[in-house]
A and B are shown apart, each in its own frame.
Chain A
C-alpha cells in the first residue's frame, strides 16, 4: 500500500523522538550519577582558558556585528565550496564557472565593505 504524504513523516517523527529521548536520558543520568564538587574555578565562565575580566553582559562595539556577518558569509562560502570540490571533475567547466561567479560575488561584497571603511578599527 503506498504511503500517504503524512505517513512518510513517520521516520522523521521517530528520529525526533529517539534523539530528544536520548539527550534527556543522558542529562538525567549525569545529574543522578555524577559527583558534584563545585569550586570557584569550576563555576567561573569558560573564556578559552584565560582569567575572566568582567561580566559577559556588557556593551560591545557594533563593529563586531559586521565582522560576525562577514564571518558567516565566508563560512557559508566554505560550505558551498566543499561539495563542489568533491565533485569538481564530474561537474566540469560549467561547475567551475558557476563557482567562480559565486566567489566573485562575495569578493565584490568584501571589496565594497573594505572600501567603505567598515574594517577600519582605528576610530
Chain B
C-alpha cells in the first residue's frame, strides 16, 4: 500500500474510529448513570 493511501486511511479511520468509540462509551455511560442513579445512602459505603 502506498504511503498516501495509508496516511489518509489512518487519519480518517483511526481518528474517526477513536472518536466514535469514545462517543459510544459516553452514550452507554450516560444511559447507565440514568439506569443506576446515585443514592445518598451510598455515601460512607
The answer to whether A and B come from one shared complex is no
B interface residues with partner A (beta carbon < 8 Å): none
